[in-house]
Every structure is written in C-alpha cells, then in structure tokens.
Amino acid sequence: MLFICNAHASTNNNPDPADMASIYGNVVDADSKEPLIRVMITVKDTKLGTYSNKNGFFTLRSIKPGTITLKISGIGYVTTFKEYTVSAGEQKKVTIALKKGDVLADQVNVEADREVEKREISISRVNIPMEQLTQLRIGGEADVFRALQFLPGVLTSSQISSGLYVRGGSPDQNLVLLDGSTVYNPSHLFGFISAFNPDAIKDVELIKGGYPAEYGSRLSAVLNLTQKEGNRDSYEGIASLGLISSRGSFQGPLGNGAFFIGGRRTYLDLLLSALPEDPNEPLPNFNFYDLNAKITQDIGENDKISLSGFMSADKLILDAPGIDFEVGIGNRNGAFRWTHVFGDNLFSTVNINASRYNNGFIGTNGGFSFKIENTIQDYTARADIEWFASDALTIKAGYEGTNYTFGYMQNFTGNADTTAQSGTINEGGLTNFTVEDYTHAAYLQSNYQFSDLLSLQTGFRFNYWDSSKVSTIDPRIAIRYQFLEDIVFKASWGIFHQYLRLATQPDFTFFDTWLPTDNTVPASKATHYIFSMETKPFEGYDFNIDVYYKDLQNISELKVNNTQGRTVSDVFFTGNGRAYGAEFFLQKKMGAFTGWAGYGLGYVFGQFDSVNQGREFRPKYDRRHDIKLVGMYKLNKDWEFGATFTFQSGQSYTGATSRFATRKPGETIDSPHIVPGDRYSLRLPNTHQLNVNVNYNTTLWGLPARIMIDIFNVYSRRDIWFRYYDTTRDITEVTDVRLLPILPTVALEVKF
C-alpha cells in the first residue's frame, strides 16, 4: 500500500486544494527497464513522500505548484534527484530510471525517510533485498526459502522439509503467492533448495502475522513473491554449472515489453550415488527440476498485461532396513495479469490463474504398507483496486473467486511383504474421494493518517464456501505510533479463517496432502494479537521486537489409523490450539558487511478430544528456541564471503511403548506392529549447522563470471531426520534416519 504525507507539513500557508498538483508514474531500472519495488520518492525539503508498489507505480499528491525536486532512493541503486515544474491542478505522469550503485557504498540517508516510513503499517513484515539473496548460497545456489528459514519464528521440521512453520502455524497455514497466484508446493523436498529460481525473482516479502484484509484464506503467514518481467533494452542470460545442480535463464525485449525464461535441474542423486554409503544410515536419493517463464506487454500508456508460468517436480527415494518409500511431488501454475492506471489516484489489478498440485507417496514402515495420492486443481479470478482518496486516506478493495477440485486416495495394509518398489497395495483400509467446490471472498481496507505520529489501518474480509454454505467475516485492525524519533510502536489484531487443510504423516513431515473444508468439518479460525517495537540502535542497523499470541480453533490432526473414509472428517481430528512467543531481529541491509541475527522463543500447544486422551500436547513443529545468524561480506569487487549458522531445539516426535504381532488366517508369518506412546511427548536432540561460501568474480571468454565455493554442513553434523522402530528382527531396534553430511560444492556462473 502507498502512503501519502500531509502536504501542509511542508508549507507555511494553506493553498486551495484545487490548486494542488500531483506527480505519478513508475520507477524502473535504467538498464533493463524492470519496474522497481519499494523505492522511496520524496519531495525535497518537505515531508511529502511515498514508496513504489509491486508494479513500480507511485503517486505523490497535494504538491504546491512551482518547481520541485524529487529525491529517489532504493537499496542497491544510486540516489537520484529529478527536478519538475508543475502547474496548479496538473497531474504529471513520469517514468524515473535508477542506475545500479556500488553495493559497497553505505546507504544514503534520506532526510524524509522516517516521515515516509511512519505512515506504513507493516507489522511482522520482512523484506529481504535480492542483493543479499544472491550472496546467500547453499550448494552453489542462491535460495529464497533458505533465506526465509534463517528468520526468527520461521522453522522447518528438518533440512528436507517441504513446509515452513511460521510462529507455530503448520505449512498449510501459509499463503504463498507468485505474481498473485497461489503455489501449493513452494519448496523442493530438500529444504536447502526452494522451488523458486532466484534468477526469476525480483522481490521477496514475508508477513509473519497480522496481515491486512487484502490477504486471506490462511491462518498464519503470507509469502508474496514477484517475478522479473525481463530486460526491455537488450538480450542477456545466465548459465550456472554446479556439482549439485545447474541453472540457466534468458531475457530480452519482445514487442512493447519483455520476456524472461529460466530453469534448474539438480543431479544430487548422481552425486550421492558416488559417495560411500553406510547401510545402517543410508542417504536418500533425490532430484528435482523447475521452470519459470513470463511475458509482459504494454498496451497503451496506462495498461500492462503479463502471462507467466511456473512448473516444478520432485522425486525422493529411500531404501533402508525396515522402511522404504518413494515420493513424487509436482506443481504447475499459469497466470494472466492486467494492471491499469486510471489516473494519479486510482490503480487496479486483475489476475486470472490456474494451478495444479499433485503428490504421490508409496512405501512400507514398521510392518505397514501405504499408498497415498493427492491432487488439487484451482482456477482463480481476482480483481483489486487502490484509491488514494485524500492526503490522509487510502482505500483498497477487491474480490477473489476460486473453483477447486480435490482428489485424495489413501490405502494402508498390515502386510509387511508389500514393497514400495512394486507400488502394489494389498487389500486393506481405503480412503478415496473427490471434492469440487467454489469459494468467494471480498475485502475492504483503509489507512488513515491522523497526524505525522499516528496512523490507523482497518479492514474486513468476507468469505463464502459453496459446498458447506459457510460464510465468515474477518475484521482486521492495526495501529502505528511514533513514540520517539527512532522508536516506533505497532500493534495489530485480526481474525483469520482458512478453507484448506493439510494432512501430514507424523513420521514423514515432507509429505503434504491438501483437503478442503467440507460440510463435515468446521472452518479453521485464528485470532492474532501482535505488539511490535522498531528502532535503529546504530547507524545502518534496524532492530525489531515482536511479541505475539495466536488462538487457534478447529485446526486439524491426521487420523493415522484411519482405514476407510469418504469425507474430510474421516481423515482429520478437529481440535484447538494456541501459539505464543517473542522474536528479536537485528538487520543490516547496506554496506560491505550485511546480514542479520535473530532469536525466536516460541510455544505451541494443541488439544484434541480424540488425541492423547484429550490432554494438551506440543505439535511436532514446536522447537522452543531458535537462533539464526547470517553474515555476508564483500571484500572488494572480486571477493565475497558468507556464512550462516542455526541452532534449534529438537523436533517433537511420538515414541513407542510396546510391540505386538498379528497373523491373518492361513498365514504362517506374523506381522509385527508397534504401540505408540503419548502424541509428540518426546523430543529429538537439538539441531545446529554451519554453512560457508566464497564467491570469486572474474571474466571467462570475455564474459562476466563467478566461481562459487560452498560448504554445506561444515562440521558434518548429521541431524536426525526422523526416528522409527525396526520390527524386522526379534528385538525391536530404535533407528535414526539422518540427514546429509558435509557437502562441499563448486559452481561456475557466466553472464552473457
């Protein structure tokens, strides 16, 4: 959202509002003409200022007629001054081009920074500059999700988890958007590589709670990513060859716009097959690929359209004593987007997209064989409009409608002879159903600036689900107060409802199965309470403290021993929960040394009448203590160094109390089974890991090149992925499946 300062603060008289002028338009990269996000535009010697939005659009109103100077600054770009002359009542449209700056330069302090920032209520919001993401490399790859995992309050259940746990919320409670379109499988199975190619992404925004009414359908957090549009001036590309994966991208002008295409493919499976393997601690076999594409065209002065596509696929195989399985996950997404500028005070966006997610899982564990298949397909249309009603008031409204089709099949059998390799499931428990549904949502939100020190953001969101005939209203409110020059207090409260649910096997936290809210289960609900303090303790450093509490109602827990079902209530238990904690975050975005340090203290509890004898328990993703350290240092134009370190409390898991055997009529071999103890009552050992990387910038065949050396898991601590009970022998053995050891890689990147 854009925020407009009170022009009266910069003048000694009060001109007639009809005589005031306005300047609006776009901010772009001087070389590629790519729209730039969150660039600050201020009128020199006044408190009038704003930010460019996700389309690079900005507007400044209530400008006194005459000659003015705009000051434009953005991270990684040279601060630029532009002089304009505006007449009474004029609406001047401009395009401002910024040149990339030396990343070693200190951030230029804009006198009006604080005046602009205090008008944006962005509680629990984190923006990671792409300049930092490109240096934060794991296994030779810069990675979006790896950066997010290094934020306090953002956890994964393991290094190969496909979901992010934000402030006690499960992965299904995160809304992941790519150019406004929902992505259901946002991470590749190995958590150090996400499903998003960083070459294709130009902006990453995470809202960890208390998000405004324009976002909905999830209980916990919003991850909003924007893809590059492409270079409008010239053709360019990147090719990278590494030990774990390779990637390439190409972009350039096309018609009245540009195009971008990029892809990656890992061959970690080939690398692991060459390593010596311990039969007692086998390594999983894994590979993936992903593709991104986007075409953008200008249709006249005020209209822009784009077509974008995204595709990813993963495969994971593990064959160990007493357990073997195979997982396949894929995601396809296509979107059409149209933006229109009506004038200096009205802006609209229309997004039509289609998405398909598929997940398959077959295997055996502890005497049980299983096969699970899940698909979700959605067609969504969304329209948003943003109106700058006055100097003090901004209003945003929109509608979103989705057609869902869900497919779910689950089959379990106690025949230990069934193998994952054959893919055959003997006759046993079967859950098999398909659900089609329509959902609708509409929202209205506003931001009002009472003064230079106080602003208020309010909104509500209306939801309707056709199959269950359920409607909900979600009110949201946030307030921001400038207590001192360098201290800001923020608070927010809101109600959030969720339509989708995630079924996850307790031992296999990477397997995500999506199901809807039908008429057999109530809608999930969360109430957020957040208090935040932001300050600048040192020049160039930002420090935030967030305290939060979440009340959770009608959340889900999988019925592990379910044998048959046709509805969602046959698959899930329904219960309540709560999550609370505090986060401390120190960040430096500019200079030769950049990075952050974070600590999160979190508590998560769930209570289900049919689980754990009705007693409250901590879910598997309760990690309690979470320490994250990230540092990047650019020595000169040739050498870059980086390191990351994490320490977390161990993941919760369900232990076993005893073992028994069953035998079907006519069989001579017993099928052993374990008896589980209290739900998630035990905790694995604490986890910690250090990664380092060195980048050397040079030239190859006259082209800019970069040699990247990365060491994943420097001191080779193989954390426990999960713990299971091997019942293939007379005496049950507790067995740990461990994660990757030290993994050094070398990659070469060439730009052309």
- Tens digit of each residue's pLDDT (9 = 90 or more) over 70-107: 999 887 788 889 999 988 888 888 999 998 875 444 44
**400-424 as b/e: b if 16+ CB within 10 A:** bebebebbbbbbbbbbbebebeeee
Q: Are 283 and 320 in contact (CB under 8 A)?
A: no
What CATH number does residue 270 fall under? 2.40.170.20
Is there a single domain that holds both residue 626 and residue 723?
yes
Same domain membership, residue 424 and residue 313: yes
Q: Which of 92, 109, 126 is the last residue of a domain?
A: 109
How far is Cα 246 from Cα 748, in angstroms, rounded to an integer? 9
pLDDT, one tens digit per residue, over 304-318 is 999 999 988 888 777
d(CA 478, CA 495): 12
- Domain limits for position 227: 198-751
- For 156, 527, 545, 606, 740, the CA distances from 550, given in Å and listed in that order, are 19, 6, 17, 12, 34
Q: Which two tokens stand for residue 77?
A: 């770009």
Q: In this structure, is residue 28 part of a structural domain?
A: yes
Asked if pLDDT for residue 355 goes beyond 80, the answer is yes
Query: Which residue type does 2 have?
Result: L
Q: Say if 130 falls within a structural domain.
A: no
pLDDT (mean) for 194-220: 87
pLDDT category of residue 19 using cuts at 50, 70 and 90:
confident
pLDDT value at position 163? 64
Contact 519, 468 (CB under 8 A): yes
Residues 559-569 have a mean pLDDT of 66
| Residue-wise pLDDT tens digits, 597-628 | 999 999 999 898 888 888 898 887 788 899 99
What average pLDDT does the structure give for the chain? 81
Residues 96 and 213 in one domain: no
Task: Let me know if residue 294 belongs to a domain.
Answer: yes
**Which pair of tokens denotes residue 316?**
């994971």
Residues 382/399, Cβ–Cβ less than 8 Å: yes
Q: Is residue 118 part of a domain?
A: no
Nearest Cα to Cα of residue 201 among 298, 308, 120, 95: 308
Q: Is residue 102 in some structural domain?
A: yes
Residues 96 and 208 placed together within one structural domain of the fold: no
Spatial CB neighbours of 103, under 8 Å, sequence gap ≥ 6: 76, 131, 590, 634
Tokens in use for 121?
Answer: 């209520």
Domain end point (choices 74, 109, 144): 109
Q: From start to end of 468-566, where are the E strands?
A: 470-484, 487-498, 501-503, 513-515, 524-535, 541-558, 564-565
355 assigned to some structural domain:
yes
Within a domain: 216: yes
Model confidence band, residue 5 (pLDDT cutoffs 50, 70, 90) = very low
Tell the burial category of 614 from Cβ atoms under 10 Å away from its Cβ (0-12, 13-18, 19+): exposed
- Write the CATH number for 22: 2.60.40.1120
Where does a domain end: 109, 141, 170?
109
- Please count the structural domains in the chain: 2
Q: Measure the CA–CA gap between 227 and 55, rounded to whole angstroms.
A: 11
Question: Minimal CA–CA distance to 122: which of 206, 57, 201?
Answer: 206
Please tell me the predicted confidence (pLDDT) of residue 690: 93
pTM of the model: 0.82
pLDDT band at 428 (very low <50, low <70, confident <90, very high): very low
Does residue 419 register a pLDDT over 50? no
Shared domain for 105 and 226, answered yes or no, is no
DSSP secondary-structure letter at 64?
Answer: P
Among 488, 368, 473, smallest CA distance to 419 is for 368
Render pLDDT for 108-142 as a digit per residue (tens, 0 to 9): 343 344 445 444 588 888 877 776 666 666 656 67
Does residue 149 form part of some domain?
Answer: no
Residue 332 Cα to chain centre, angstroms: 17
